[in-house]
Amino acid sequence: MGPLHGFKIIEIAGIGPSQFCGMLLADMGAEILRIERPQVAEDGISIPTKFNLMNRSRQTLAVDLKKPEGVDLLLTLCKSADALFEGFRPGVMERMGLGPEECLQQNEALVYGRMTGWGQEGPLATTAGHDGDYIALVGALAAIGEKDRPPSVPLNLVGDFGGGGAFLAIGILAALLAAGRSGEGQVVDAAMTDGAASLMTMFYGLRAGGLWSEARGNNFLDGGAPFYRSYATSDKQSVMVCALEGRFYREFLRILSIEDIDPVAQHDRSTWPTLTHRLESTFATKTRDEWCDLFAGSDACFAPILSMSDAITHPHNQARNTFVEVDGITQPAPAPRFSRSESEIRHPPTNPIKPTAAILKAWNVPDSDIDGWLKSGAVDS
């Protein structure tokens, strides 16, 4: 049983960041009831249930929130819930009669989480957007990529999952702690722009101190430094070098048998282009595996750049069970890890579960109300 065992949370089904938040909380043991709209046509990429891994570890119930009976059901569920979170544009839940005011009237200790791209207010609050838009607006995207080229579009880790879902999960957990002491719930306004900006805090500090250039590919953490970047190998693979600190840089040079470079001049940027070209030529002389053998066990901060397939079979990841197999699908294991109340993937993603009556009873919904909601068609039975 994970550390959140005993907490009941309602998830209004969404994609991306709120979905990731639900996975994190469910893997940590929270009993999450995922409320999904019945038979909604997909507008975009449709992922078969089995492979929609971020829906793992929790039950799904199909409820038509456009019907009054569906709204009444959700408000009733709020009475037994510790938290609820949603990922609609601002105002959508209010128009359905399910905004924070209505839900907190049912349960004053309820934590109400809101996941949006732009936040609940501001000039862009009601406009559409995606991960790339949000990280573009806060300076994160401009810092990613090679010099003299447009910014590289990263995986949606910075906005959706880092600045979005992870921050929503942190906010919900903090609000649950506060509610446990005060008996009062509150609204958690998690915007991906806010979260992504928070992730950039260190870089804004470096910029203010004159230690960071806004020109891409010219800094010590963005691929500009020869000791912190990737290199191609002779077999068309790649390796990553992160010899940032002096002692690691000295070890890096020692392993490469480079003796004519003064490690004290590591941060002399005038030397970077020449050293980069030299290292590019050096790493092109051996295969990725040959370099791995040479750097094995060292403190040179070296790693092979692995594909997802290779990552699954790497000895370190296997030793830590970083990836696990559930229902025939290899996937990342829950994180972080706990010494006593261990997280787990309780079951693979599921379609809406039937019979729904058993689920509703577990959430303390009266039998008399269950019959009425099932007959109304607001709940998929």
Exactly one of 5, 130, 267, 277 is catalytic; which is it?
A: 130
Exactly one of 64, 82, 131, 160 is catalytic; which is it?
A: 160
User: 3-state SS of 165-184?
Assistant: HHHHHHHHHHHHHHHHHHCC
Question: Any long-range contacts for 218-223 (C-beta under 8 Å, 24+ apart)?
Answer: 218/147, 218/269, 220/244, 220/267, 222/143, 222/144, 223/146
Angle, helices 192-199 vs 167-182, to 10°: value is 100
Other C-beta atoms lying within 10 Å of the C-beta of residue 328 = 7
Closest by Cα among 245, 253, 340 to 1: 340
DSSP lists the bridge partners of residue 325 as 330
Three-state DSSP at 54 gives helix
Q: What is the DSSP letter of 323?
A: E
Are 81 and 106 a contacting pair, CB within 8 Å?
Answer: no
Q: Is 5 one of the catalytic residues?
A: no
Q: Where would I find the beta strands (DSSP E) of 154-227? A: 186-191
Q: Which two tokens stand for residue 242?
A: 């992160």
Q: Residue 327: enclosing H or E segment and its boundaries? A: none
Evaluated on CA atoms 109, 115, 116, 119, the torsion sign reads positive
Q: Is 194 one of the catalytic residues?
A: no
Residues catalogued as catalytic = 130, 160
